Structure 1
């Protein structure tokens, strides 16, 4: 019994330590970008040794992948995109995600920095962002297509082009909002875009 308790305690401690490291990495990436960061600085910020960090994340690339997957998992769990039928509710959840991002500017800043860096094909997050955008466009497309099939998209609105524009607008607005939050109503503009392609307002 003591062995089982010890193992459980060790597992929990390991999970908490990983969370500390991910939190420190998010802070450092947001300040310096991926290329400007180091595992030693992240370890220092997390309050552990460099060797301790390497135990959990053996390479800089492995840590970056964990940070990005952690963000996606949080978003997916919170908004439940995978279990929500395509249509208006999915679009509402995109708006809710934008509202969440406005309340968490540090995470948005990190994402914007990494997305810009990852345009380079040799960046370790390049393939991640390819998958990320492909998935986001696919989720949006299924909803706009479902709405078109039900006659809820305006005449002449192409579901595929609208899905691409919607995801591009969402990310582009985030960058503008980061530089001039008082001038950019991120959530309002995103919702206005959706309302303009539907036959009736989203809400």
Structure 2
């Protein structure tokens, strides 16, 4: 692992523990045995460090999300595999949960990242849902409505799992939600 990646992983932990506003370059530097100036040599600002941490987090999920489903497509089962995989990555889930929630604050440097990420994710999830389930979902829900609901379930389960990991079976509950979607009403 190179020094830059070591700093990013330490920053991911610090942001997960303290949020962006509570984190400091000094705390990241301490984790990797550098001075603040040493960290700033690689990342010229806390905002830039946050941007790279978010990029790294998504990059690490790309390996899983591009697992080929039927004919190389992303499927609802691929998404379920991500939820299951996330049960092994508490720190990554925690950082995502903290940073995404904190990004709703006025002027937060990650706000644009999360708006774009959720917008793009809703678009591809709509396509996945339509490809697998068609336009007729339980309760008259459209694929365009089901996509943000699916992400709400994922994010809500992650939060509850972080708070009560012994009580919340994140992947099992997500599979149950998919069964509801697949039930055809």
> TM over 0.5, yes or no?
yes
**Pairwise CA distance, 1:157:** 3.5
Q: Which residue of 1 aligns with 2:119?
A: 134
Residues 87-126 of structure 1 aligned to structure 2 (within 5 Å): 89-126=74-111
TM-score, normalising length: structure 2: 0.89
Q: Which residue of 2 aligns with 1:12?
A: none
Cα deviation code 1:58-94 (max 9, x no counterpart): 000000000000011111122217x767998521111
Distance (Å, rounded) in 1 between the aligned partners of 2:13 and 2:58: 17
Contact 1:24–1:45, Cα closer than 8 Å, also in 2: yes
The higher radius of gyration belongs to: 1
TM-score, normalising length: structure 1: 0.82
Contact 1:87–1:147, Cα closer than 8 Å, also in 2: no
Cα pair distance change 1:108/1:198, threshold 3 Å: same
Cα pair distance change 1:87/1:144, threshold 3 Å: farther
Alignment pair present for 1:33 and 2:33:
no
Cα pair distance change 1:89/1:78, threshold 3 Å: closer
Alignment pair present for 1:79 and 2:44:
no
**Pairwise CA distance, 1:136:** 1.7
Q: Which residue of 2 aligns with 1:145?
A: 130
Task: Count matched residues.
Answer: 184
Distance (Å, rounded) in 2 between the aligned partners of 1:73 and 1:144: 23
Specify which of 176, 185, 188 is matched with residue 169 of structure 2: 185
Distance (Å, rounded) in 2 between the aligned partners of 1:46 and 1:85: 42
Specify which of 139, 158, 165 is matched with residue 149 of structure 2: 165
Cα deviation code 1:128-163 (max 9, x no counterpart): 1111111221121001111244x7855734111111
Distance (Å, rounded) in 2 between the aligned partners of 1:142 and 1:190: 19
Specify which of 28, 50, 53 is matched with residue 39 of structure 2: 53
Distance (Å, rounded) in 2 between the aligned partners of 1:133 and 1:48: 35
Q: Structure 1 runs of 4+ off > 3 angstroms?
A: 83-89, 151-155
